[in-house]
Structures are given as structure tokens and as C-alpha cells.
Amino acid sequence: MGEPRRIQSGIVDVEFGEGVTVIEPANIYGCTIADNVFIGPFVEIQRRVTIGARTRVQSHAFICELVTIGEDCFISHGAMFINDPFKTGGPARGDQTQWKETTIGNRVSIGTNATIMPVTICDDVVIGAGAVVTKDISEPGTYAGNPAQKM
């Protein structure tokens, strides 16, 4: 029997602003976190992510590479961000050139267990719990469902 390759999770190579709170355990690396951000336990935030000031990221959220989140946002429990749209019918399998960016505006609230595909969401939007956002949102309002639609 072989031994597994073990990689310790934790906080590595992160640019933190002032007044940031991180509840551990958390896996946060290679990203930028602005002032007064709260990050709950069991959160993963990957490299090349930027999170704006006063944003709250609740437990069990997953924020993958190439995501930018604005200021005063709320990312609820279990929210998932996706950067690989399976353009070829399956995963990119390490071909990061197929990955796409996600940009979240200011004052955006994303509900529990929502899934955010590579999209742009404007300021002042609420995404309902369990919603799946598959297209850009350019008009403020409340969006819910699969695929997410304006209510």
C-alpha cells in the first residue's frame, strides 16, 4: 500500500485588508481580501479571487479561481462558484484556457446553495436560495429558480 500525497489546507499567500475575520478551518490561498470582510468556517477561496470590502462569506461556500466579488455583498452558506463551463461537453481537465471569469457587483446577496456559473452580475441583486445563475444579470432585482429568472 502506498501513502497518499498530503497537502495541508490553511491560509497561504493572501493579501488581507484591515479588520478581516476568518473562522477556521478555512482553505484560502493566492487571493485578495479587502477591509472588514468576514469569512466563515469550511470556506474555500482559491487563487486569483478578489473580495471587496465589508463582504460576508458564510460557511461552506466555494469561490473558485477567476471570481471577483464587489463590496457589501453577502455570500450565503454553501454557495458555489463555477469557472469551468464544460465547453467541450466535459471538464477542462487542467486546460485553464477554457475557464471563464465571474464578476459580482456591489451589494449583491447570494442565497444558500446557489450556483453561480461564469457570469457578470450587476449591483443591487438578490439571488435566491438554490438558484442557478447561467446568464449575465444586468438589471437590479431578485432572481430565483433554475435557471435563475427575475421575480
**Over residues 53-61, mean pLDDT:** 98
Integer angstrom CA distances of residue 93 from 4, 49, 54, 70, 108: 21, 20, 35, 29, 31
Q: Quickly name the fold that domain 11-150 has.
A: UDP N-Acetylglucosamine Acyltransferase; domain 1 (2.160.10)
pLDDT surpasses 80 at 94: no
Strand-pair category, 74-75 with 26-29:
unpaired
3-state secondary structure of 145: coil
**Over residues 43-50, mean pLDDT:** 97
Listed range (3-7, 69-73, 102-106) with the worst mean pLDDT: 3-7
What pLDDT is attached to residue 89? 80
pLDDT tens-digit readout, 1-19:
899 998 888 999 999 999 9
Average pLDDT value for the chain? 95
Listed range (41-55, 58-72, 85-99) with the worst mean pLDDT: 85-99
Percent of the chain at pLDDT exceeding 90: 85
Kindly report the number of other CB atoms within 10 A of residue 87's CB atom.
12
What pLDDT is attached to residue 85? 85
- 98: cell is 477554457
pLDDT surpasses 90 at 84: no
What pLDDT is attached to residue 6? 86
pLDDT surpasses 90 at 35: yes
